[in-house]
Amino acid sequence: MPEKGELQPSVALQTPAGNNVKQHNLKSMTVTSVRPELPLFSSDDEKKTIKINELRRLVENCDDFVRRSDDLFLCRFLNCCDWDVQEAFQRMVKLFKLKHEYPDWFIDRPLVYYKEVLSRNIKFVLDKRDKNGRRIFVTKMCNLDVNVTSPTDLAHLDELWCEFMLNDLETQEKGISCLIDMSGLSIKSLRYLTPTNIRIGSQKTDLLPVKNMEFHVINSSVFLNAAVAILYPMLSKHIKDRVHFHYSDWNSLHEHLGKEALPAAYGGTNGVDFNYDMLIKQLLDLEDHYNSLVRFGCELKPHVDPTKYAKLFQNADKSKTGKKKNKNKKEVELIEE
């Protein structure tokens, strides 16, 4: 469960029957406002409260869409930008724009829709932090089946878990350690490394409101070197500078993360291996919170004429329909093979 500074959802939505939630129909859901009972910061941090309120005013007036503006969400961007309000706002606007340009790369449905992909145990967050107080976000490539998992599925998993990790101030301030286990990686996964996928994925990663994020790659191989040769030149310098390759050297890994949070499978002292059910439950227990987030960036403000964005919503529906057709086509091809 989230630790201190737990996020209080700014709204609570009733989960609709079925999974087909359309962006422009979100206003029909029941919305109940919920406010945090206590301020995030003490009276000694009055300057931070002033900056939070300043950023909130900017966000709430930035466009025609309902935007999330609770204190803890705004603090993600302020912490990331050293409490520079304008820089935090520009980062948020860039993320909003990326979401409108590539909606398939962002979550826009209730959590029940994503439970199946979560159960594949490709990505998850450990229950303990590393020695620097950072959350540890694990990716197990051996659990990735490229025939059933798309690049956008992986993007949705990243977003779901980042929302979970950034639910407290400690993670916002200390950061995230991404542990990427390359063992069992299939050569078929090279199909993911298209210029478009790399570009969008890199842009989304760069805009995440995380001040300190490191990438630790383990169990790599000759095959990985081929993948890196394709991927590395397209990554931003910001990401490149934070990638560490440990291969199978646990001592090297422990120098960065310590042993206490890792299982024995990685030379640690936190159990024998990963307890997937327990780790996934951390996120599933917050279903109401995730369902409350669906409306942001999709629901128009009450005074806005919806016909102004009719084309946008129509394109979003077509995108989802096309995605479903492509998935069905792929399933047919697999059956024929």
Where are the domains positioned within the chain? Answer: 11-108+296-336, 111-284
Q: Which residues, including other chains, have CB under 8 Å from residue 29's CB and lie 6 or more apart? A: 13, 14, 16, 295
Residue 148 to residue 45: CA distance in whole angstroms: 48
Q: How confident is the model at residue 19 (pLDDT cuts 50, 70, 90)?
A: very low
Q: Tell me the mean pLDDT in the region 289-314.
A: 86
Taking only the tens place, the pLDDT of each residue in 124-146 is 999 999 999 999 999 999 999 99
Distance CA 215, CA 87 (A): 24
Taken as a whole, the chain contains a residue count of: 337
pLDDT score recorded for residue 244: 85
Q: What is the pTM of this model?
A: 0.79
Say whether pLDDT at 287 is over 60: yes
| Residue 18 or residue 110, greater confidence | 110
Examine the pLDDT at 180 and tell me if it is beyond 90.
yes
**CATH code for 111-284?**
3.40.525.10
- 30-59 residue pLDDT tens: 333 334 445 666 555 789 999 999 999 999
Look at residue 278 and tell me whether its pLDDT is greater than 60: yes
More confident residue, 270 or 314: 270
The helix/strand/coil state of 179 is strand
pLDDT at 190: 77
Q: Give the pLDDT band (50/70/90) at residue 101.
A: very high
Pairing status of strand 213-218 against strand 243-247: parallel
Q: What is the mean pLDDT of residues 213-230?
A: 76
Higher pLDDT, 92 or 11: 92
Instruction: Return the C-alpha torsion angle 331, 193, 115, 326, nearest 10.
Output: -30
Residue-level pLDDT at 174:
95
Backbone angles phi, psi at 123, to 5 degrees: -135, 140
Residue 88: which pLDDT band, with cuts at 50, 70 and 90? very high
Residue of 36 and 214 predicted with greater confidence: 214
Model pLDDT, residue 194? 86
pLDDT band at residue 322 under the 50/70/90 scheme:
low
Q: What is the DSSP letter of 236?
A: -
**Residue 325 pLDDT > 80:** no
State percent of the chain over pLDDT 90. 58
pLDDT-wise least confident of 22-31, 138-147, 197-206, 262-271: 22-31
Task: Please answer whether residues 164 and 125 qualify as being in contact, where contact means their C-beta atoms are separated by less than 8 angstroms.
Answer: yes
- Taking 60 as the threshold, does the pLDDT of residue 333 lie above it? no
